[in-house]
Amino acid sequence: MTKQNIERMSLMNIIQDFMENGIKNLFELLGKELKNKGDFSKFVLELKKQLDSLGIEICKTALAASDEAIRIEPNRKNQWVVERRDKKTLLTTFGEIKYERTYYKSKKDNEYKYLSDEFLGIDCHDRMDLSLKVQLVKEAVDVAYDKSAKKTIESIDLSSQTVMNTIRELGEIPNITYKDQCQVEESKKTKVKYLYVEADEDHVALQNGKSVMPRLVYVHEGYEHSNSKRKKLKNIHYFCGIYNNIEELWLEVVDYIYNQYDIDNIENIFVSGDGAAWIKQGISWIPKSVYLLDRFHINKYILKATTHNHKYRFHIWESINNCNLKELDKIFKDLIDSTENENKIQQIKDSRKYIKSNWEGIVNYYKKSGAINCSAEGHISHILSDRLSSRPLGWSVQGVHQMSRLRAYTANGGAIYELFEKTLKKKKNYFYLSKKVVNSTMKNKCIEKFNNIESLNTGKKTGLNYLLKALRGA
């Protein structure tokens, strides 16, 4: 039997062998677990192992079929000549696939190509299939690089460096999805009375002992109406990253707002934060903006000023709730006069300075219709800290930037696969691959051999018989 005939029979033989022997062995294992009061998870793990093996064999056959289709294509023969056959190993989510593909030389300019790989989007230098890269990055968004590799595929030993290099391939990662970047027609833009922009930053330790601060800004439409006790923000979109020029961050935010919302319909855009200069800078970029001081940080400074004298805490809050700055000054003066420790006095003065320098943001919370409390601390934890700073990991600046943007991108509903699609080299049209050749090759590889499977022609109505007929399309 020739190698070509063996290849033609292989796909259906693989499936038939799996159906008749693989499943039989699996259920024998299940029977043993039942008799011994064993563990169903062993059955699940063995099933996954068997399915991965099946996937590898089917992929090998598919790659061989593609290579054969190119090889027998008349249009190819007019432009490219066969040089040799080379082996290649490709890592996939099923495991390691070893196959052969044909190397060609162009008659026109002496260019060399593995044409079947090119037609399938496999670069000659690719060690990993795109689907495996996507899954590695998906896992790495939530867990450390080494854990990402183990969770993605156990049968291949992939290093943390491999995962990191895979993320590096993505280059500059957008904060929002490609769909959200598309220009929205004016008539279809969202109309809201109030819009909310909240901001904060995280502190991440670097490998060199220093630290870096990725910024977080998110835009939303307020709280959703729900019977749930837990409040949920409506149509939230995140923007993250390390910015040498903070204007770049605010321009991303402003572009998104102008693209998605009817600005003329908005009464106020509330910009909330802890009073940092970079957050206040956003007010000059965002139209119709009103600054709000995050009440979490107000409380933080009040606690700091009154740890030694709790009775003043209520009075400070009362003056703030009444927007009475004169009364607030008097309370702080009394608190300082009643304090002897110089360090505590300095803490009180720092708290007073912080509250007074952000007084406009405090008053706006009480005076402006539509103002709500900022929830940035929780979002910092959810988007940044959970992955970047809550565990003792040593990051590079590039690593922090890419991971923070990946976290924002996926939280915004972005698909990792779309990011990798943008990195693919544009496929050249070397020649036209005729439908007739493709159909005949696939028929030889699959359909005819499917009809020759013994289980389909016995006449017995078994579970295997029904399944194979369904696969065939009978």
Dihedral over alpha carbons 437, 438, 439, 442 (to 10 degrees): 120
Structure-token pair, residue 57: 């064999």
What is the SS3 assignment for the chain? CCHHHHHHHHHHHHHHHHHHHHHHHHHHHHHHHHHCCCCHHHHHHHHHHHHHHHHHHHHHHHHHHHHHHHHHCHHHHHHEEEEEEEEEEEECCCCEEEEEEEEEEECCCCCEECHHHHHCCCCCCCCECHHHHHHHHHHHCCCCHHHHHHHHCCCCCCCHHHHHHHHHCCCCCCCCCHHHHCCCCHHHCECCCEEEEEEEECCEEECCCCEECCEEEEEECCECCCCCCCCCECCCEEEEECCCCHHHHHHHHHHHHHHHECHHHCCEEEEEECCCHHHHHHHHHCCCEEEEECHHHHHHHHHHHHCCCCHHHHHHHHHHHCCCHHHHHHHHHHHHHCCCCHHHHHHHHHHHHHHHHCHHHHHHHHHCCCCCCCCHHHHHHHHHHHHHCCCCCCECHHHHHHHHHHHHHHHCCCCHHHHHHHHCCCCCCCCCCCHHHHHHHHHHHHHHHHHCCHHHHCCCCCHHHHHHHHHHCC
pLDDT at residue 456 is higher than 90:
no
The position carrying tokens 């109309």 is 191
pLDDT at residue 16 is higher than 80:
no
Q: What are 410-436's pLDDT values in tens digits?
A: 999 999 999 998 877 665 666 666 777
CA distance 384 to 244: 18
Tell me what the mean pLDDT of segment 4-32 comes to: 60
pLDDT confidence band for 36 (50 / 70 / 90): low
pLDDT at residue 354 is higher than 50:
yes
Tell me what the mean pLDDT of segment 236-261 comes to: 96
Tell me what the mean pLDDT of segment 318-347 comes to: 95
Counting residues of the chain whose pLDDT is more than 70, the rounded percentage is: 82
Paired with 193 in beta bridges are none
One-letter amino acid of 163: V
CA distance 110 to 124: 17
Q: What are 54-93's pLDDT values in tens digits?
A: 888 888 888 988 898 889 888 889 899 999 999 999 999 9
pLDDT at residue 439 is higher than 90:
no
How high is the pLDDT of residue 281? 95
How high is the pLDDT of residue 284? 93
Tell me what the mean pLDDT of segment 437-458 comes to: 57
